[in-house]
Amino acid sequence: MSVAPGLRSAAVLTAQPMRHDEHALGADTAPVTLVMYGDYESAACGPTHQQVDRARIAFGDRLRFVYRHFAVTELHPHSQQAAEAAEAAASQGLFWQMHERLLSDGGVLDAGRLVEHACELGLDTNRFLRELSGHIHAERVREDLRSGIRSGVGSAPALFINGDPFALGAMPGDALLDAVGRAMP
């Protein structure tokens, strides 16, 4: 098995176990779980997420998708705040809607744009701003980052299929679809 470019060493290449507060789409009983460690400011995360969406559509309820933050502020200075914005939206039940906006916004992640997203989604913006300015969700975001580091992730995006790393490479055509299909019982 080749090591994915976003992964560090073969010694710890396995996704960390699921937590009760995971952001997941799909049934807990799905035979395949796809975990993505992502950074909203990484240019590669948007296209990778498009491939994930293709897999989700193709496999329906047989695939569970889990998103974990991998906000590395040394590389992407807005990534932590964007991840906290997603968590602030999650506290109001709209994680996935904010998630989609952040990944499709072309890297515009300044505070003003985050507030625009909150308004457009109909969030309680006062609460959103309090949570964002108070860094209420910072520890949750850091826990995802620590989980990624324990899994051997070195940069985002990084994918795991049933706990095993998936080498992103250029992700030509249907490579992710094929890999998920091979993992199906």
Task: Say what the pLDDT of residue 3 is.
Answer: 35
Going from N- to C-terminal start, the domains of the chain cover 24-178
Q: How many helices (H) and strands (E) does the chain have?
A: 7, 5
Task: Say what the pLDDT of residue 8 is.
Answer: 45
CA-atom Rg of the chain in angstroms: 16
CATH number for the segment(s) 24-178: 3.40.30.10
CB-side neighbour CA atoms (13 Å) of 43: 1
Task: Say what the pLDDT of residue 20 is.
Answer: 73
Residues 144-157: tens digit of each pLDDT = 999 999 999 999 99
A 10 A CB-CB count for 174 gives 14
Task: Say what the pLDDT of residue 57 is.
Answer: 96
Task: Say what the pLDDT of residue 15 is.
Answer: 63
pTM for this entry: 0.89
Residues near 34 by beta carbon (within 8 Å), at least 6 away in sequence? 52, 55, 63, 64, 65, 66, 159, 160, 161, 180
Low-confidence ranges of the chain (pLDDT < 70): 1-17, 169-173
**Contact indicator for 45, 76 with CB cutoff of 8 Å:** no
Task: Say what the pLDDT of residue 1 is.
Answer: 27
